[in-house]
Amino acid sequence: MRKYKQVKEKKVTYELDEWEEVERRARKLKMKTGTYIKRISVDGKVEYCDVGELAPLVKEVNAIGVNVNQLARKANELNSIYAGDMEKMKELIETLCRMLSSFACTRQWNRV
């Protein structure tokens, strides 16, 4: 048992076919069975988003991070930074925010 956190443990019995269904759902969500049972019993639902389709977006976010690091180095070396560089960075970040917002609004979340 944990030292500082109070917990409650409960034994639950499943029929074999029920347990197979629980395992199937947990696998579908790429979760451990115990984690799935806990989340579904507390929250009543589990939402899953396959982030594999976000690979191009992750690549763009990494590119923006590289640009931010370059600007930070330049600013530290020169003790100043060009307004044009900052404006370009602001535009890139705003584009990213629009893309993320669009994705979140149109995405169909899988509920199990």
Mean pLDDT by 10 residues, the chain (112 residues): 75 93 90 90 75 75 82 80 78 80 64 49
Say whether pTM exceeds 0.85.
no
DSSP state of 30: T
Q: Are residues 105 and 58 in the same domain?
A: yes
Q: Quote the pLDDT of residue 107.
A: 61
Question: 79: alpha, beta or left, given left = phi > 0 and alpha = psi -120 to 50?
Answer: left
How many domains in the chain?
2
Q: Are residues 56 and 42 in the same domain?
A: no
64 domain residue, yes or no: yes
Residue length, the chain? 112
- The pLDDT tens digits of the residues spanning 19-28 come to 999 999 999 8
- The pLDDT tens digits of the residues spanning 86-106 come to 788 788 788 877 877 777 666
**Residues spanned by the domain of 35:** 16-48
Q: Are residues 97 and 83 in the same domain?
A: yes
